[in-house]
Amino acid sequence: MPLDANFVFSQSALQDFVDCQRRFELKYLQKLRWPALQTEPALAFEHLTEMGVQFHRLVEQYLLGLPSDLIAKQIADPLLQRWWESWEQQHPQAISEQRFVEVELATQIAGHTLTAKYDLVSIADNGNITIYDWKTSENRPKDVSLQQRLQTRIYPFVMARAGATLTGKAIDPSQIEMIYWYPNVPAQPAHFRYDATKLTADELYLEDLVNQVLQRNAGEFALTTDEKRCKFCQYRSLCDRGVKAGNLAEMDAELEEDAFEIDLDSVTAIDFD
Q: Where along the sequence are the contacts to ligand SF4 (CB under 6 A)?
A: 20, 22-23, 26, 223-224, 229-230, 233, 235-236, 239, 241
Q: Shortest CA distance to 75 belongs to which of 91, 94, 61, 95? A: 61
**Minimum distance from residue 267 beta carbon to ligand SF4 (Å):** 16
Q: What is the DSSP annotation of 60-99?
A: HHHHTT--HHHHHTT---HHHHHHHHHHHHH------SEE
Please tell me whether the peptide bond between 41 and the residue prior to it is cis, using omega within 30 degrees of 0.
Answer: yes
Cα separation of 229 and 122, whole Å?
Answer: 35
Give min distance, CB of 26 to ligand SF4, in A: 6
**Which one, 17 or 134, has the nearer CB to ligand SF4?**
17
Beta bridge partners of 129: 123, 176
Strands 176-181, 190-193: pairing kind: antiparallel
Residue 151's SS3 state is: helix
Cβ contact 218:121 at 8 Å: no
Cα separation, 75 vs 71, whole angstroms: 7
**Cβ-based nearer residue to ligand SF4, 127 or 242:** 242
Convert 125-149 into a string of H (helix), E (strand) and C (coil). Answer: CCCCEEEEEECCCCCCCCHHHHHHC
Q: Give the Cα-Cα-Cα angle 243, 43, 26 (nearest 5 degrees).
A: 45
Nearer to ligand SF4, 113 or 217 (CB): 217
Closer residue to ligand SF4 (CB): 153 or 229: 229
Q: Name the minimum Å distance from CB 137 to ligand SF4.
A: 19
| CB 240, min distance to ligand SF4, A | 8
Instruction: Name the minimum Å distance from CB 259 to ligand SF4.
Output: 15
Q: Least distance (Å) from ligand SF4 to the CB of residue 224? A: 5
Whichever of 53 and 223 has its CB closer to ligand SF4, that residue is 223
Q: Is the CB of 17 or the CB of 182 nearer to ligand SF4?
A: 17
